[in-house]
Structure 1
């Protein structure tokens, strides 16, 4: 581990009945950074975070958190990490304040210290005004914000969030983003898993792209996008696209990849705008019924397609 590394993952693998959910993954998270694991559902992200949280044992490899080995120092690690699971872990018939008090007592808080910490966290996640309402009446985003507050009760140094923006409204998403940034500015190291491009692009200092259990790229957003270069992505929605048309488009100079998925054609190419007219002509001449065409400049979705040959599965 380097001097500024707080989490190291070396050759991590997790196998279930012959299936490798995580396959020889290695990375290091620096102290005080927001680090993202980006990939589709089923890529292995939640398995990785479960091992880091000491909830699963690895099949092989080594993981240390702040110098502590996850297999031998689970109790010590749990004192310094906060975990926000993908599934909401709240008692719906209790109010937000009652939920926080319940978990605070588990962490050993009581009296004025507990009350002050709960008030502070309710303010942080923007739910002071709804603190005494039952959680069952909350929106999905509000429940997730209280879930984050629960994970922060014991003032952890490291925060793990598994798909923090899943099922939330735009207002709650912004509040969650603001909370994560504020915590990071105060020195907290954050690891989040996500299949949402927006989460990774707006929050993370560095992003590890994971697919089918393997780590396929790791860098800052700018560094990752440089891997794509001047590539554009053209998305075509059409009916009855003949194979001959696909073959012709594949042979166009500067077209790098063409994929078909249930009536959607995705074309990865250099200088897409210059070639767009020729691609449309080819499709129309072949008898394809084109419904829409969209051209996108390089982004993380473009990169995922570039690296894997498939679009990011939701």
Structure 2
């Protein structure tokens, strides 16, 4: 049984792909409204964990409860609770910004008489209302990412999953992404972000996790960490030296 204040509760979670073990006996509870940042080298199991939590793939063993619902038994009930942002925008380039959001609003089951108001509200929140009738394919990387935030938050999800959302963004676009991310989400929205970007994540999150070789090797509240430099030292002490270059970023 999940703790009363947990929105996600993971117990004994393992996942193997053939002979390769991607996750090994993960136990994790995430509270409603937490912003959790997950770090680790490539191949640590971060994306696999996110995909299992978002019901894209099933675990080999163990359980995931989301709001008390078993993710394996009732994935359809969970999918309406979550939004997803990644380096892939999941937008249709041939459609306008408005058409993209209307399409996803219908997919999310938003009632027809509420769609226009909700779409306009989200376009305004990401500063794209004036560009709403332009094709998404004509947008810059940063604009597409802002539109993908609107797409992910359109149905007011309880949980937001982010997998390397900074990929391809310059400093200005990354700062805009963070502003939009923090201003459009309700304080009760639970955010889980996979990133190599320690500097930026440290500013945003409440809790820091480090994964390596399919296991959670570090899990602390940010208030328990003295500084970002201390966290970097912890990271480097956990992750093997030959993965340091690809596992950590200051951008």
Structure with larger Rg: 1
Q: Is the 8 A contact 1:225 1:303 kept in 2?
A: no
The runs of at least 4 consecutive aligned structure 1 residues that moved more than 4 Å come to none
In angstroms, what is the RMSD of aligned CA positions? 1.9
State the match for 1:300 in structure 2.
Answer: 231
Across the two proteins, how many residue pairs are aligned to each other? Answer: 244
State the match for 1:81 in structure 2.
Answer: 82
User: Quick one: distance in 2 between partners of 1:22 and 1:149?
Assistant: 31
User: Quick one: distance in 2 between partners of 1:31 and 1:107?
Assistant: 22
User: Quick one: distance in 2 between partners of 1:19 and 1:112?
Assistant: 49
Q: Is the 8 A contact 1:33 1:184 kept in 2?
A: no
Q: TM-score, normalised by structure 1?
A: 0.73
User: Quick one: distance in 2 between partners of 1:95 and 1:185?
Assistant: 26
Unpaired stretches in structure 1, ≥5 consecutive residues: 227-296
C-alpha distance 62-312 of structure 1, shift in aligned 2 (>3 A): farther
Aligned-pair CA distance for 1:80: 1.3
State the match for 2:46 in structure 1.
Answer: 45
User: Quick one: distance in 1 between partners of 2:100 and 2:225?
Assistant: 41
Q: Is the 8 A contact 1:32 1:184 kept in 2?
A: no
User: Quick one: distance in 2 between partners of 1:198 and 1:45?
Assistant: 18
C-alpha distance 129-300 of structure 1, shift in aligned 2 (>3 A): farther
User: Quick one: distance in 1 between partners of 2:118 and 2:230?
Assistant: 40
User: Quick one: distance in 1 between partners of 2:19 and 2:222?
Assistant: 34
User: Quick one: distance in 2 between partners of 1:130 and 1:56?
Assistant: 36
Which fold has the larger relative contact order, with Cα–Cα distance below 8 Å and residues 6 or more apart in sequence?
Answer: 2
Q: 3-state SS of the aligned residue for 2:91?
A: coil
Q: TM-score, normalised by structure 2?
A: 0.90
State the match for 2:215 in structure 1.
Answer: 214
Q: Which 10-residue stretch deviates more, 191-200 or 217-226?
A: 217-226
User: Quick one: distance in 2 between partners of 1:89 and 1:14?
Assistant: 26
